[in-house]
Amino acid sequence: MPGSRHDHPFLKAHRALQPGFGTEAAVYGTILVSGLIAVSSAHGETSGVVLITVGITVLVFWAAHVYAGTVARMGEETENGHVGVRAALKHSLAHSFGMLTSASVPALILLLGTTRVIPDYAANEVALWSGTVILAFLGYVAFLRRGNGMLMRLLGALMTASFGVVFIALKAFVH
């Protein structure tokens, strides 16, 4: 129905970005990336070094997440018998995709710093803040999908974004 919460632009964006972006793996991945950027950039690393650190670490965590998900799902009983390795791996890959997609926006920003499209220092800062914005978006959409009113959506966005703010504060403290 027109004008319903189903027509909300954030909800439309969220649906378009799924399956990779709107999952708990995406939230976890965004928090992981924010922590990596905060710690790496707090020591004065260039955006290129931060990008490599983020890329390698996210790939390792993603692989571990896929492996753990596959092992946990293998052998589960279904109507048709037990879940096999291929089915467990396929499910785990789909479920874990958000961990990779969550790194894409901050990685793009870091790449812009590496190629000097934006200043190096600014790239690290903007990439760190982008995680907070992504978390706010995911929190807002989660409460929107539940049918909550604007106040609860904003509180949900604020609470989810607070994880990113913690890393911004951590960077300031370490730096």
Asked if residue 142 has pLDDT above 90, the reply is no
Structure tokens that stand for 130 in this block:
């982008």
Please indicate whether residue 128 or residue 14 has the higher confidence score (pLDDT): 128
72 to each of 23, 28, 32, 66, 99, how far by Cα in Å?
Answer: 18, 18, 22, 10, 18
- As a whole number of angstroms, the distance between CA 68 and CA 71 comes to 5
pLDDT in tens, 3-48: 556 577 766 665 555 555 567 888 889 999 999 999 988 888 999 9
- As a whole number of angstroms, the distance between CA 147 and CA 149 comes to 7
Quick check: helix, strand or coil at residue 65?
helix
Asked if residue 96 has pLDDT above 80, the reply is yes
This prediction has a pTM of: 0.80
pLDDT in tens, 48-86: 999 999 999 999 999 999 999 999 998 788 777 888 999
